[in-house]
Amino acid sequence: MIVCVCRRVSDREIARHARAGMSFDDIQFELGVATQCGQCEDCARDVVDQCSRTSPVAAIQLASRIQESAAWNSSQPLAQA
């Protein structure tokens, strides 16, 4: 899943760097995640927090705030303007 749309950074890329022992600040510098609009910072930090060298990528859980958003849940009809 793409976490940072501005820089096209996926959760897998973030997880791979986190499992290599990089901090969020290091990953931010290396990949550019959360350096433009900043909307992805919470999700990117969640991915880093959940990853360790022993955790598989499949163990990453989306932040509940992301899962509950109308943009994420396409099964809910969007409000008509």
Q: Mean pLDDT throughout 62-80?
A: 54
Pairing outcome for strands 2-4 and 9-10: antiparallel
Residue range 2-67 in CATH 1.10.3720.10: no
**pLDDT, position 78:** 53
More confident residue, 3 or 72: 3
List phi, psi (to 5°) of 17. Answer: -70, -40
- In the chain, % of residues over pLDDT 70: 63
CA distance 69 to 65: 6
The answer to whether residue 17 scores a pLDDT higher than 90 is yes
Tens digit of each residue's pLDDT (9 = 90 or more) over 49-60:
888 655 555 555
Other C-beta atoms within 10 Å of 46: how many?
Answer: 20
List phi, psi (to 5°) of 73. Answer: -90, 90
Amino acid at 34: A
Q: In what helix (H) or strand (E) does residue 47 lie, and over which residues does it extend?
A: helix 41-50
Q: Which residue ranges make up each domain of the chain?
A: 2-67
